[in-house]
A and B are shown apart, each in its own frame.
Chain A
Amino acid sequence: DSGVTQTPKHLITATGQRVTLRCSPRSGDLSVYWYQQSLDQGLQFLIQYYNGEERAKGNILERFSAQQFPDLHSELNLSSLELGDSALYFCASSRGNSYNEQFFGPGTRLTVL
């Protein structure tokens, strides 16, 4: 158990819909990262937040957005869903200083029908 929790574990929805994935980092971690794992793209970095502020953006679509709240949990919002958005979405957290060890949550499996 990494100490990072993600909910829900599974999500099945239809095209065009909007979903919210939630992540709670390990106690004391200030950084949260979101990654997408799909068969064709592999593991791709989406976005990072540090202490409530966006720090870095990767291959994140404009239809996707995220935020980190004062209690440091984070939400990833996916809208106008397409079939190709079906993937495993991982959240990771780290202390956020020069030590780069990232701890991953169990992931949310999103299926878009």
Chain B
Amino acid sequence: GEDVEQSLFLSVREGDSSVINCTYTDSSSTYLYWYKQEPGAGLQLLTYIFSNMDMKQDQRLTVLLNKKDKHLSLRIADTQTGDSAIYFCAESPPSNDYKLSFGAGTTVTVRA
């Protein structure tokens, strides 16, 4: 995932908002995704945004997309202990194969 960059760690207090940032390099990417990986588990698709959108909200999750800066963020409102996990940003450049390029993942730790 050398084309997608994320900060590696985030510590947040329970009840606060978490903001995870990601930058990507392929401006032609059609879809951008956020996946969550809990310890010992596979990847769970949290949300995605189409490249012609600036924002998408889904319950406690808000995704912001700044195409000019190639910047994607995920905001988790009212962060809970169950939100502790690794969060991966991924891009899907337009092609026939839909493969995903992932960032290194941001480990979010929620403290009481």
Contacts and interface: CB of A to CB of B under 8 A. Distances in A.
B98 A42 contact: no
Contacts of B97: 48, 55-56
A2 B38 CA distance: 14
Interface stretch (B9-17, B18-26, B65-73, B88-96): B88-96
A104 B45 CA distance: 8
B74 to A, nearest CB: 17
B41 A33 contact: no
Contacts of A105: 42
A10 to B, nearest CB: 11
Given A42-B104, A43-B1, A43-B88, A31 B98 contact: yes
B100 interface: yes
B100 A101 contact: no
B54 to A, nearest CB: 19
Contact of A102 (B30, B95, B96, B100): B100
Contacts of A55: 96-97
A58 B42 contact: no
B44 A101 contact: no
A44 B42 contact: no
A17 B107 CA distance: 34
B100 A45 contact: yes
B48 A101 contact: yes
Nearest to A4: B42
Contacts of B104: 42
Nearest to B101: A45
A10 B76 CA distance: 33
B42 A104 contact: yes
24 contacts: A2-B42, A2-B44, A4-B42, A33-B100, A35-B100, A42-B105, A43-B1, A43-B88, A44-B102, A45-B99, A45-B101, A48-B98, A56-B97, A90-B43, A92-B43, A94-B98, A96-B98, A101-B48, A102-B45, A102-B98, A104-B35, A104-B42, A104-B45, A106-B41
